[in-house]
Structure 1
């Protein structure tokens, strides 16, 4: 599950002690304004970078702004330079922010274990500082990082953040930190709604909205609106949902523009409201009206890289539902190009992370003896944590291919909802490979096919070895058009060249099924029947499950 908010979605504390200098106040103000006034925060950064005393703080703010702009490598370079200096100076408040930023970038580049280690160090720092707001933010960030693999465990971290902040104010009432307090509430609500617990989800949605209104955090208001609209839609109150969206535009001071972005450029909150309105009309069965809300999507300015694929995927599904399959195909091609560019940026970030990490470690080694001892202790603790993580990973990973095993597949399948999809993939004539070249060559073939399948997926998708020569893939939030696009990409990737060793080219047959509801246990059986049909029709192809696949035994 993609969390409602990315890490670092907090307003930042702007309360200062009398001992802080004017420079300290301006630095804190820039951090607090990074969402609400990024141009102002950027101006402070440019003015402060030449000052050695302010440079590391400015680099942390700059890293955040670069991350929001999708410039992951540049963001990483800035924050890792800042981290080394902040460690040397013992500036724990800004070091905690740098660690949080590093965790975000590690998560963005697929290094989940490193992200969690960084967040653990951040949490220890803010506990020592006694900063309740930053501690709650750290708990929230933990939840964000593990949300896909284990939403219920993520819920416990969101709940810790929420409960910690409830203790600081009036339970159910005013909060001294309404920004992060409201965000934690909405993240809790998101998981309750995902799991079908609508009553609990509605209560937390209302609480989150009240807190964001208290904070006047209109930048995040679309998050509340999205959840409330989902609830109203489930209750059949479509007119109330439309009125809520109109009210949200009024709060932002922006008129709704369902026919395209004529006028001033759409801000990010307005873009999110347009997407929420489009989804509402799509669910209401009016694809024409839904598409109007996404009018001029290509001209929307400064769409964040992680949001653009969601907008394009939504538009492709609406176009397909409206019968305009040519337009849906064009949008799917755009989505593919955007996703590939995003993956390339993530790979560049991983490479840069290794380079900069090496330089940073050299700088740390030159610090005084006490700091080195503390670093050694941290590394020892990280090794223990990594070992524990490896043991957990072994229980859910296929030894031969490195993919998730059937146990992990069943765990993740239970988290799916309507609109998600499952692929069942079978290597064609695999027995011939074993019989002709031997089982060692068969193992190599399985490993190569696993790598090629994984290379064709989005970052949010998951691949598993189901058993023997069968693989499964789980896809989140896909329509029929994009589902077939992904399947075709997998099929072409597998047969793109011969397998080294046996020097034989293999193909795969794929059965695909879209879930019709939460915990749709029959989806895998429908995919299996579609796979059987693909085999019967000559192999090396994809077949989509039909309505009649919902019942009856799978042919032998």
Structure 2
């Protein structure tokens, strides 16, 4: 009887030891899971922070690219981008053995618009003319603000005859309707007529470098002005 009782006690002790070992193992597993969860939470927080930082850097980079390449008034490519585009187009023309054309477009009597209606009206006119030029061109063509009241159009894979036709069409698109402006003092809607003088240069015919084609288009544009304005002239 006594030996049986001792055996039962030993069995109980062994069960208690086994239970305590299981309990310790469970507690260690819980602690391990808690540690892993904490590390996971910290990693998730770091990942979210890095994602936010990446988004901020991406946004800042996009803003810097826009400042460097886009004209703030017209939202067209700026002078620097115009020059890069001409180089790119000339390189393509040389590789593909095709033509291209450059149009220099200058708004006639633009200074008088600024003097009469103010610079905000002048900016509004530039924005409207930029819009008209943009929607009047093919997707593969390019228009940018060269500077001041001058715009540059680069016509892809285009010869002399078509370039002259496009220049004449753009000239008529601009002149067809006046730009409207609400006078700041009187709130009166003012109609501002706008015309352009356009110079045209053709790759090969008038040069094979950016400098030569720009000079040729610029001279042709001034010849259009001296001939009475509101016209397009070929170099």
TM-score tier by shorter-chain length is 0.5 to 0.7
The one of 462, 473, 486 aligned to 2:153:
473
Q: Which residues in structure 2 correspond to 1:127-526 (within 5 Å)?
A: 384-417=57-90, 418=93, 419-501=99-181, 502-516=190-204, 518-526=208-216
Tell me whether 1:537 sits opposite 2:210 in the alignment. Answer: no
Residue by residue, what CA displacement relative to the aligned partner does 1:117-142 show, whole Å, maximum 9, x if unpaired? xxxxxxxxxxxxxxxxxxxxxxxxxx
Contact kept, 8 Å, 1:453 with 1:463, in 2: the verdict is: yes
Higher strand share: 2
Contact kept, 8 Å, 1:433 with 1:441, in 2: the verdict is: yes
**Aligned equivalents of 2:51, 2:155: Cα separation in 1:** 36
Unpaired runs of at least 5, structure 2: 1-47, 94-98, 182-189
**Aligned equivalents of 2:78, 2:131: Cα separation in 1:** 15
Two-structure CA RMSD over aligned residues (Å): 2.3
Residue by residue, what CA displacement relative to the aligned partner does 1:28-53 show, whole Å, maximum 9, x if unpaired? xxxxxxxxxxxxxxxxxxxxxxxxxx
Contact kept, 8 Å, 1:416 with 1:519, in 2: the verdict is: no
Instruction: Name the SS of the counterpart of 1:414 in structure 2.
Output: helix
Residue by residue, what CA displacement relative to the aligned partner does 1:456-511 show, whole Å, maximum 9, x if unpaired? 11111111111111111111110112112221221122122121214112011100
Residue by residue, what CA displacement relative to the aligned partner does 1:318-344 show, whole Å, maximum 9, x if unpaired? xxxxxxxxxxxxxxxxxxxxxxxxxxx
Contact kept, 8 Å, 1:416 with 1:518, in 2: the verdict is: no
Unpaired runs of at least 5, structure 1: 1-375, 546-556
* Structure whose CA Rg is larger: 2
Q: CA deviation at 1:389?
A: 2.2
Instruction: Name the SS of the counterpart of 2:120 in structure 1.
Output: helix
**Aligned equivalents of 2:173, 2:140: Cα separation in 1:** 18
* Distance change in 2, residues 1:436/1:544 (3 Å): same
Q: CA deviation at 1:384?
A: 4.4
**Aligned equivalents of 1:518, 1:378: Cα separation in 2:** 49
Query: Which structure would you say has the larger RCO, counting Cα contacts within 8 Å and 6 or more residues apart?
Result: 2
**Aligned equivalents of 1:379, 1:475: Cα separation in 2:** 41
Residue by residue, what CA displacement relative to the aligned partner does 1:444-465 show, whole Å, maximum 9, x if unpaired? 1111111111111111111111
**Aligned equivalents of 2:124, 2:210: Cα separation in 1:** 34
TM norm structure 1: 0.29
Instruction: Name the SS of the counterpart of 2:178 in structure 1.
Output: coil
**Aligned equivalents of 2:50, 2:169: Cα separation in 1:** 43
Q: CA deviation at 1:411?
A: 1.5
> Number of paired residues?
171
Instruction: Name the SS of the counterpart of 1:495 in structure 2.
Output: helix
**Aligned equivalents of 2:163, 2:232: Cα separation in 1:** 10
**Aligned equivalents of 2:49, 2:129: Cα separation in 1:** 41
